[in-house]
Structure 1
């Protein structure tokens, strides 16, 4: 994960492209630096795991025409619009779930089947 952040920040040719100001502001925030950064389609997504399939349950930042928009996870609901990337990062952090810790390596684990769960009728 540290490698991914480093490649994004250095503009490595093999790294995905994202808004450098948003990437730097997110990297400066310890809670976001512990997550997996995934720039795509003009937005910076934060993942709880490092490989597909993603959990995709965290808010994300998109650079707008005059500022930065913070969206709720998997939604078109705007949590807020900010003038600076630092304000956008603060808004994301304010909406992180309490159980949001560092990203786990690999895909998001499949839920364990419930014991003695028989076929549904």
Structure 2
């Protein structure tokens, strides 16, 4: 499966559900979470990485999450309710809509990701 070379391309492929990429496997509920995340400017600079029923947002992209992404919030896309977690901090909350889940993700972004340089 092809991985996008950068965050902008990864978002584009997901939104297109491009064949041969992770985007082709998005069901409607997962796609709603991806679309809501893409609509949030603070998340578009992060690399979207749908995997194992979740939408993870990585600082630097694949192929694998590193230790630096353990504090990054992610959405479990099997909702509603949509659950938001981090590896380090566990369960952060549940929401009724993808947009609320994205808002919860933004609230729990680490300080280095919330900085003005990461928009």
TM range (shorter): 0.7 to 0.9
* Contact 2:50-2:56 at 8 Å conserved across structures: yes
Aligned equivalents of 2:98, 2:79: Cα separation in 1 = 13
Alignment of 1:43-82 (within 5 A): 43-54=54-65, 55-57=68-70, 58-72=72-86, 74-75=87-88, 77-82=90-95
Q: Unmatched 5+ residue regions in structure 2?
A: 1-6
1:102 deviates by 3.6
Q: When the two structures are superposed, what TM-score results if normalisation uses the length of structure 2?
A: 0.77
> Which structure shows the higher helix fraction?
2
User: Secondary structure of the equivalent of 1:80?
Assistant: strand
Tell whether the 8 Å contact from 1:31 to 1:93 is kept in structure 2 after alignment. Answer: yes
Q: Is the 8 A contact 1:48 1:102 kept in 2?
A: no
The equivalent of 1:14 in structure 2 is: 20
1:95 and 1:29 map into 2 onto residues whose CA distance is 14
Task: Render the CA deviation track for 1:21-53: whole Å, top value 9, x for unaligned.
Answer: 000000000111110000001100000002334
Assess if the C-alpha contact under 8 Å between 1:71 and 1:77 holds in 2: yes
1:83 positional shift: 0.2
**Are the aligned partners of 1:37 and 1:45 in contact in 2 as well (CA < 8 Å)?**
yes
Q: 1:24 aligns with which of 9, 28, 35?
A: 35
User: Aligned pairs, how many?
Assistant: 102
SS at match of 1:96: coil
